[in-house]
Chain A
Amino acid sequence: MEKQDCVEPIIDTFEERQSHMCIKGGGLSLPECDKPGIPGTVTQRTCVFGGARIVLMPITDSIHLVHGPIGCASCTWDIRGSKSSDSKLYKKGCSTDLKEKDIVFGGERKLYDSIIELHKLHNPGAIFVYATCVSGVIGDDINSVCKEAQNITGCRVIPVQSEGFQDHNKTKGHWIGCDALIDNVIGTSEPDQDSITPFDINIIGEFNVAGDLWGIKPLLEYLGLNIVSTVTGDSKIEDIAKSHRAKLNIVQCQKSSNYLAKKMKKKYGIPSIKVNFFGIESTITSITEIAEFFDDEEMKNRANNLIENGLKHLDNKLEEYRERLNGKTVALYVGGNKAWSLVRAFEELGMEVIMSGTKNGIKEDYENIKNIVKEGTLIVDDANSNELRKLLKKLKPDLLISGAKEKYIALKLGVGFCDFNHDRISAFAGFKGFLEFAKEVDGAVSTSVWNVVSTSIYDE
């Protein structure tokens, strides 16, 4: 595919967007990225507040209180399909509901009262207080309110300084969420001496969307690892508080959480390994690397067993999906991490990734994408809805992988769609998850609805 064939008609009206799209090939340079979007476009991006919220929200025994007008809470509560094996408290949508009067006189009193009420009603593990654009602009000092409320209630009350307009990139919000944990939670409790083992680990950047964690956990436990905490999927605040004594951090979503792993390395000396449990090869590599890190013969044997059994389990069932999916094409338009970590998984299904793009990618993400995709793949940064539509029309992939906002853009164009975002309902991680993934992808691509869609009433 020649660059001019593909890119130029897409961005015919805006020269400044040319540099945000490129084709992997001889003279490839990375797409320009991490720049503010053009005002006036229908962006697929979100805000810093949203970024912080999705990192912290999966902490199941905590209350997430949004200090702002009602919309910031009501459009985002329960936005992440993170599952819980116990408490459902994290699914509540709490807002201080700032009104005109509060904008003039300040909302600190209201915030304080709200925290006290929530503590009385729910006795949560922690109360996270999120700053929004509004509380930022009116200058409410949420730090001191949280401190005071914490003294009175004895409950952890944690400020999250996540004013929405802080940055064009919601990744900054992820970091702010991570900062709230490293500054206020991690290292604030000590584990029981009896519970400490040589194989204590934390899983960082796994949010248990659709129950992914539950696909990964049995694998790790079989290896003999002791999971101290998951940050933050299906977690409780006390477990995260004790996470500083782990021997290793394994990092699943590097986009949101490598930042935290680095900070934990600096503060507590915990090394980290980047892992990826999406796809067969990635799962095998992750298991092998963890076993190698601990350099324990027993664990290495178990790892081999695990891989052998996992593959045995997969082979027969996968063939049927592979037959149908072989040669089909995929476009990825996802968060930074998935834009490269999913590529192999599709290749393992016999599919070809012809486009990969992200909304909030940074240079490192695009380097990772470049390293993993084939020659001729289109790499796109921050495509808005118009561009996305034009790209789908031009490239005609059999499948788009993205989130809820993009879903209907694809379907209206007759392009199959599979959710790999917060709204997904099947767990895709590990060997079993890969089968689920294959099943869902096959459903999206091979559904007979597309046969009907392509017909006309005048057909024979």
Chain B
Amino acid sequence: MSVNVYKRDRQVIIDPLVTCMPLGAMWAVLGINHGVPLVQGSQGCSTFARYHLARHFREPIEIAVSSFHESTAVFGGKKNLNISLKTLIQRQDPELIGVITTCSSEIIGDDVYGFVDSNKQELKELGYDNTEIIPINTPSFAGSHFAGYDNAIDALIKNLATPNENIECDNNINIIPGLLNPGDVNEIKHMLDSMFVPYTMLTDISETFDSPLNPKKQKTPYFGKGGTTVNDIKNISASKGTISIAKYAKTGAETLKQTHKVPAVTDNLPPIGIKGTDKFLKTVNKLSGYDIIDTLMTERGLTLDLMADVSARYLAGRKVVIFGDPTLVTGLTSLVIELGMEVVMVTTGSEEKTFPTDIESISKNQSIDVFSEGDLKVVEDYVKDKDNGVELILGSSEARFINYDTGIPLVRFGFPVYDRVGYHSQPIVGYRGAKRVVEMVTNEVLAKYYEEKHWKLQQ
């Protein structure tokens, strides 16, 4: 028994599971303290991404745009970028601007690197030299939002990490979280803090995408609370190692290994479920030298306790479909299998080369259908085919209609989740995140598959 890999059997995408590269890059840049993404393209390229992100995080999302119009497509975007940088620095005074290219600026052949370089000189003469300006290539036709995120992290490392013998190292490690929610990043920070490991999060969206309400202190221009500082990124060259949680976000870690000899761990399971979290903590321990402390083992035990309580009676053998970002799908597949459930089908919207083999290595003796470059139509057809006997779906809000039509419970996770609250601020990673997933999954199963009159079943 192993995985069966299928390709989508049509050309057209119906109900996409992925979005574009610029959105991933915006995500990364917004995790920097006083960082602003500047989109070198049409207004729609920033506005629709802002809308998408604002709906999911329920936060103001500040993304500037250089507003391409028809003449730009003909004469190029140099002038727009020049004005944009001046406007943005003058108005917002950011620590960092990520210049994010779009399909149109890439196709017309804008040399953003050249533009940025020539602008830097001019900005310096105007006295604006406090802002880091980082060009990030993100033509949407070359990949999904994961690839855009990866390019952005790599660009930040390439441009900012400086070799510095004098930095006091103190066993610092770098974490590239990937496109995780604030709740997940906070959980990773909680695990590291529990072990007293110093770390740099590349980048840290935990507070910028989940900011407190305090109207009296609200400033203009708006910057979300927190975020990784530019200075922290400059110092990452002296770290003991880099862990990339997501495989698709490993280029930066590899760059740092090549340029500054910082060891990189990029092929771990994500810290989702018991095995994934075990592996993550052991890696942290190995890189930093700090011990895994008892508090975390208590959390592990509490999660195992719940898993033992519910697995055999309610969950074992139930058939699950999972779709979403490759890292999350891989991690959740592992967790769901730990619970004794049967994963029958998984898909992710992009073409991640190692995705089928990753699923295979987790699948053990289960047979899993893996669709590469799938879309929601693939999921819908699979779930609606009664022969497949699907009993639970794990995926984003986009599957809500499948849920309404079939009555099969949908446990929401990943991006985007806009029709429920709390999903982005609570974790699915770590032992505590695993406990939460087990609770959510079991409650959905209880609500759907156990009737009230058989209340004893629920004990």
A residues sitting closer than 8 Å to B (CB atoms) are 13-14, 36-50, 65, 68-77, 79, 88, 91-100, 102-103, 110, 113-114, 117-118, 121, 132-134, 136-138, 164-168, 385-386, 389-390, 393, 404-405, 407-409, 411-414, 423, 453-454
Which residues 1-41 of B sit at the A interface, judged by CB distance below 8 A? 10-16, 18-23, 38, 41
Q: Does B113 contact A (CB under 8 A)?
A: no
A433 CB to closest chain B CB, in angstroms?
24
Residue of B nearest to A65 (CB): B12
Instruction: State whether B142 touches A93 (Cβ < 8 A).
Output: no
- The verdict on A40 contacting B54 (CB below 8 Å), with A165-B42, A167-B70 known, is no
Residues of A contacting B166 in the complex (Cβ-Cβ under 8 angstroms): none
- The verdict on A137 contacting B73 (CB below 8 Å), with A77-B15, A100-B141 known, is yes
B456 CB to closest chain A CB, in angstroms?
39
B191 CB to closest chain A CB, in angstroms?
30
Residues of B contacting A73 in the complex (Cβ-Cβ under 8 angstroms): 13, 16
Residues of A contacting B22 in the complex (Cβ-Cβ under 8 angstroms): 71
Which of A46, A75, A412 has the most B CB atoms < 10 Å from its CB? A75
Q: Does B277 contact A (CB under 8 A)?
A: no
A213 to B317 alpha-carbon distance, docked (Å): 47
Instruction: State whether B213 touches A453 (Cβ < 8 A).
Output: yes
18 contacts between A and B (CB under 8 A): A41-B64, A42-B63, A70-B20, A72-B20, A75-B23, A110-B11, A133-B102, A136-B73, A164-B45, A165-B72, A168-B43, A385-B62, A386-B92, A389-B222, A405-B61, A412-B215, A414-B213, A423-B55
- The verdict on A133 contacting B41 (CB below 8 Å), with A41-B64, A411-B213 known, is yes
Which residues 67-115 of B sit at the A interface, judged by CB distance below 8 A? 67-70, 72-73, 80-81, 83-88, 90-92, 102-104, 107-108
CB < 8 Å neighbour of A68 from B19, B43, B103, B144: B103
Residues of A contacting B68 in the complex (Cβ-Cβ under 8 angstroms): 133, 165
A100 to B10 alpha-carbon distance, docked (Å): 18
- The verdict on A133 contacting B220 (CB below 8 Å), with A69-B103, A100-B142 known, is no
- The verdict on A404 contacting B55 (CB below 8 Å), with A44-B47, A70-B140, A74-B19 known, is yes
Residues of A contacting B394 in the complex (Cβ-Cβ under 8 angstroms): none
Which 4 pairs of residues, A with B, have the shortest CB-CB distance? A71-B20, A47-B44, A40-B84, A40-B87
Which of A38, A98, A113 has the most B CB atoms < 10 Å from its CB? A38
A168 to B144 alpha-carbon distance, docked (Å): 27
A447 CB to closest chain B CB, in angstroms?
13
Instruction: State whether A134 touches B141 (Cβ < 8 A).
Output: yes
Residues of A contacting B69 in the complex (Cβ-Cβ under 8 angstroms): 36, 165-168
Residues of A contacting B86 in the complex (Cβ-Cβ under 8 angstroms): 40
A113 to B41 alpha-carbon distance, docked (Å): 29
Q: Does B211 contact A (CB under 8 A)?
A: yes
Instruction: State whether B222 touches A94 (Cβ < 8 A).
Output: no
Instruction: State whether B13 touches A49 (Cβ < 8 A).
Output: no
Residues of A contacting B218 in the complex (Cβ-Cβ under 8 angstroms): 389, 393, 412-414
A118 to B11 alpha-carbon distance, docked (Å): 10
* B: contact size bracket: 35 or more
CB < 8 Å neighbour of A46 from B47, B104, B215: B47
A412 to B48 alpha-carbon distance, docked (Å): 21
A29 to B220 alpha-carbon distance, docked (Å): 28
A407 to B23 alpha-carbon distance, docked (Å): 20
Residues of B contacting A96 in the complex (Cβ-Cβ under 8 angstroms): 11-13
Q: A48-B44, A71-B103, A113-B11 are in contact. List 15 more A-B contacts (CB 8 A).
A: A40-B38, A40-B91, A41-B88, A47-B42, A65-B12, A69-B20, A71-B20, A73-B16, A75-B51, A76-B48, A77-B15, A117-B11, A134-B103, A165-B68, A408-B59
Q: Does B58 contact A (CB under 8 A)?
A: yes
Residues of A contacting B38 in the complex (Cβ-Cβ under 8 angstroms): 40
Residue of B nearest to A37 (CB): B67
A284 to B308 alpha-carbon distance, docked (Å): 66
Residues of A contacting B127 in the complex (Cβ-Cβ under 8 angstroms): none
Residues of B contacting A72 in the complex (Cβ-Cβ under 8 angstroms): 20, 44, 48, 140
Instruction: State whether A38 touches B220 (Cβ < 8 A).
Output: no
A411 to B213 alpha-carbon distance, docked (Å): 8
Q: Does B175 contact A (CB under 8 A)?
A: no
A91 to B400 alpha-carbon distance, docked (Å): 12
A172 CB to closest chain B CB, in angstroms?
10
CB < 8 Å neighbour of B211 from A121, A386, A412: A412
Instruction: State whether B12 touches A118 (Cβ < 8 A).
Output: yes
A83 CB to closest chain B CB, in angstroms?
14
A128 CB to closest chain B CB, in angstroms?
14
A164 to B20 alpha-carbon distance, docked (Å): 16
Instruction: State whether A408 touches B60 (Cβ < 8 A).
Output: yes
Instruction: State whether B62 touches A42 (Cβ < 8 A).
Output: yes
Residue of B nearest to A132 (CB): B103
Residue of B nearest to A73 (CB): B16
Residues of B contacting A393 in the complex (Cβ-Cβ under 8 angstroms): 218, 220
Instruction: State whether B60 touches A165 (Cβ < 8 A).
Output: no
Residues of A contacting B432 in the complex (Cβ-Cβ under 8 angstroms): none
A394 CB to closest chain B CB, in angstroms?
10
A13 to B220 alpha-carbon distance, docked (Å): 13
Residue of A nearest to B58 (CB): A408
- The verdict on A409 contacting B87 (CB below 8 Å), with A41-B64, A386-B92 known, is no
Residues of A contacting B60 in the complex (Cβ-Cβ under 8 angstroms): 385, 408-409, 412
Instruction: State whether B85 touches A40 (Cβ < 8 A).
Output: yes
A394 to B63 alpha-carbon distance, docked (Å): 23
Residues of A contacting B260 in the complex (Cβ-Cβ under 8 angstroms): none
A88 to B45 alpha-carbon distance, docked (Å): 27
Instruction: State whether A453 touches B41 (Cβ < 8 A).
Output: no
Instruction: State whether A70 touches B84 (Cβ < 8 A).
Output: no
Instruction: State whether B11 touches A39 (Cβ < 8 A).
Output: no
Instruction: State whether B211 touches A71 (Cβ < 8 A).
Output: no
Residues of A contacting B23 in the complex (Cβ-Cβ under 8 angstroms): 71, 75
A24 CB to closest chain B CB, in angstroms?
25
B150 CB to closest chain A CB, in angstroms?
16
A36 to B43 alpha-carbon distance, docked (Å): 11
Q: Does B424 contact A (CB under 8 A)?
A: no
Q: Does B49 contact A (CB under 8 A)?
A: yes
Q: Does B65 contact A (CB under 8 A)?
A: yes
Instruction: State whether B47 touches A50 (Cβ < 8 A).
Output: yes
CB < 8 Å neighbour of A133 from B13, B46, B103: B103
B214 CB to closest chain A CB, in angstroms?
8
A44 to B103 alpha-carbon distance, docked (Å): 21
Instruction: State whether B141 touches A98 (Cβ < 8 A).
Output: yes
CB < 8 Å neighbour of A92 from B14, B64, B88: B14
A206 to B49 alpha-carbon distance, docked (Å): 26
CB < 8 Å neighbour of B141 from A41, A69, A121, A386: A69
A41 to B80 alpha-carbon distance, docked (Å): 11
A38 to B139 alpha-carbon distance, docked (Å): 23
Instruction: State whether A70 touches B213 (Cβ < 8 A).
Output: no
Q: Does B50 contact A (CB under 8 A)?
A: yes
Which of B55, B103, B107, B213 has the most A CB atoms < 10 Å from its CB? B103
A429 CB to closest chain B CB, in angstroms?
24
Residue of A nearest to B142 (CB): A100
A110 to B10 alpha-carbon distance, docked (Å): 11
Instruction: State whether B41 touches A71 (Cβ < 8 A).
Output: no
CB < 8 Å neighbour of B47 from A45, A95, A389: A45
A96 to B375 alpha-carbon distance, docked (Å): 12
A430 CB to closest chain B CB, in angstroms?
27
Instruction: State whether A75 touches B48 (Cβ < 8 A).
Output: yes
- The verdict on A71 contacting B21 (CB below 8 Å), with A99-B141, A100-B142, A408-B60 known, is yes
- The verdict on A453 contacting B141 (CB below 8 Å), with A41-B87, A93-B14, A404-B51 known, is no
Residues of B contacting A407 in the complex (Cβ-Cβ under 8 angstroms): 54
Residue of B nearest to A45 (CB): B43
Q: Does B66 contact A (CB under 8 A)?
A: yes
CB < 8 Å neighbour of B104 from A117, A133, A408, A412: A133
CB < 8 Å neighbour of B18 from A13, A50, A74, A113: A74
